[in-house]
């Protein structure tokens, strides 16, 4: 049986598409088997904490979801919250699986990350469903923007999956463009989904209103900004290459800030759900899960096209010294 402490490689020994700026060591051998990838969870490499910083929260969100499902029948209007909570559990689970399988051979690595992107896109849609039901400014309820908010969020989720998956085709030859497309694929839906929150925060800053959930929404927005900065800057490892190969590099910071942001968002939505009960018209379960189902079906179709279109990577040659 392969050892979880299998030989690790340095950056110059792996294909360029596997390298991360400022990370000089700790790479798993490319084209590892699925068994070797899974065993690497229990040995220290430069992906270990990327996996566990999302795998543990995924278990926590799944536990919350199961607990809320038991009370679903006695809680009116909980459909959007359950849909949102399901996507909260899905995206870190898919992310941890993608990082665990990131050293797979052939097309497996790209397929794992495409599934990760699709799950993250659905989390954006889940957030929009919860915002529409519980977070929208009261004066916007019934407006044209409110009526079209969820349909546009469904479309954004599909576009996000498509653009982020397409970025995998560019990664080897045009890595900067690939990273730009991937960033745009998730920044734009976040900004659109957050318009109701930004409006409420701006009113609070102007002294027009003060609600208990707004500090939590502001912390979620701050964490979202930190995830963007850590994802795009590759700090601190750019400043001291090789010093953060295993602990403290930007992708770990990205994961931690993202999970903290989701926890703040979850608490804010829960508070809005309790405080504003009866003040916003709640969608039916069919509307909620129909919208989520359409987004999921379209993303699965995109994944199917990408899986068929991905080309095998050329054979890699590990260099010695």
What residue spans define the domains of the chain?
52-71+81-309
Residues 6+ apart with CB under 8 A from 147: none
Q: Cis peptide before 167, with omega less than 30 degrees from 0?
A: no
Residue 62 CA to residue 49 CA, distance in Å, equals 20
Instruction: Check whether 321 has a pLDDT greater than 70.
Output: no
Q: How many CA atoms lie within 13 A of 68 on its CB side?
A: 20
Burial of 11 (0-12, 13-18, 19+ CB in 10 A): buried
**Residue 107 is encoded by which pair of tokens?**
């097309």
The pLDDT tens digits of the residues spanning 30-53 come to 989 999 999 999 999 999 999 999
Residue 81 CA to residue 86 CA, distance in Å, equals 9
The residue ranking higher by pLDDT, 74 or 297, is: 297
pLDDT at site 320? 35
The pLDDT tens digits of the residues spanning 210-239 come to 678 999 999 999 999 999 999 999 999 999
pLDDT at site 73? 63
Q: Which helix (H) or strand (E) holds 140?
A: none
With a pLDDT cut of 90, the percent of the chain lying above it is: 77
**How confident is the prediction for the chain on average, in pLDDT?**
91
Q: SS3 of 81, please?
A: helix
Instruction: Check whether 13 has a pLDDT greater than 80.
Output: yes
The pLDDT tens digits of the residues spanning 89-143 come to 999 999 999 999 999 977 899 999 999 999 999 999 999 999 999 999 999 999 9
């Amino acid at each position: 049986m392969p050892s979880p402490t299998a030989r690790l490689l340095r950056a110059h020994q792996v294909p360029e598409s596997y390298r991360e700026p400022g990370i000089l060591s700790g790479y798993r051998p490319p084209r590892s088997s699925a068994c070797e990838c899974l065993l690497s969870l229990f040995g220290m490499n430069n992906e270990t904490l990327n996996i566990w910083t999302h795998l543990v929260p995924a278990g926590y969100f799944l536990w919350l979801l199961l607990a809320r499902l038991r009370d679903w029948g006695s809680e009116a209007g909980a459909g959007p919250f359950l849909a949102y909570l399901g996507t909260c559990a899905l995206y870190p689970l898919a992310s941890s699986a993608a990082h665990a399988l990131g050293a797979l051979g052939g097309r497996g690595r790209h397929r794992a990350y495409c599934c990760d992107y699709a799950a993250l896109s659905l989390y954006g849609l889940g957030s929009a469903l919860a915002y529409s039901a519980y977070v929208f400014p009261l004066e916007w309820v019934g407006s044209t923007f409110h009526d079209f908010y969820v349909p546009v969020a469904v479309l954004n989720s599909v576009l996000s999956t498509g653009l982020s998956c397409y970025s995998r085709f560019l990664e080897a030859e045009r890595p900067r463009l690939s990273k730009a497309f991937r960033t745009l694929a998730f920044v734009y839906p976040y900004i659109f989904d957050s318009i109701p929150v930004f409006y409420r925060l701006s009113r609070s800053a102007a002294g027009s209103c003060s609600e208990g959930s707004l500090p939590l929404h502001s912390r979620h927005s701050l964490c979202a900004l930190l995830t963007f900065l850590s994802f795009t800057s590759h700090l601190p490892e750019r400043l001291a290459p090789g010093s953060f190969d295993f602990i403290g590099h930007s992708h770990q910071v990205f994961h931690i800030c993202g999970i903290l942001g989701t926890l703040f968002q979850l608490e804010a939505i829960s508070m809005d759900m309790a405080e504003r009960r009866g003040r916003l018209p709640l969608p039916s379960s069919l509307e909620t899960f129909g919208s989520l189902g359409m987004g999921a079906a379209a993303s699965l179709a995109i994944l199917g096209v990408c899986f068929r279109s991905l080309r095998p990577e050329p054979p890699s040659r590990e260099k010695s010294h």
